[in-house]
Amino acid sequence: MESFKPPRHMWRSWKTHLLTIGLATGIIAVAYGTFRVGILTKRFLSENTFGQHQEMEDFLAHKAEMEQRRRAAQVTPQQK
C-alpha cells in the first residue's frame, strides 16, 4: 500500500495559510504589547503626585526651620 502524497499545489496552499496565520499572530502580539504599554504609561502619567508634592513641601519647611535655628544660634556682634 502506497502512502498518501499530497499534490504540490496542495502544499503551496497550506504554506500560504501557515504563513498568514504566523503573520496575523505576530501582528496581534505586537498590538497587544503596544496596548499594554499604553495602559502602563497612562497609569504612570495619571498617578496622584500629591504625595510627592507634600513630601517636598515638608522637606522645604524643615529646611527653612533648620535655617532659622542656625541663624538664631549664631552669635551676632550686638550680643557680645
pLDDT score for 52: 75
pLDDT value at residue 55: 85
Q: What's the confidence (pLDDT) of residue 12?
A: 72
d(CA 30, CA 72) in angstroms, rounded, equals 63
Radius of gyration of the chain (CA): 35
Mark out the alpha helices in the chain (DSSP H runs): 8-45, 50-73
Q: Which residues are CB-neighbours of 70 under 8 A, at least 6 positions away?
A: none
pLDDT at position 37 is 98
Return the pLDDT at 14: 85
22 vs 57: CA distance, rounded Å: 55
Divide the 80 residues of the chain into consecutive groups of 10 and give the mean pLDDT of each group.
70 85 98 97 81 85 95 74
pLDDT at 80: 55
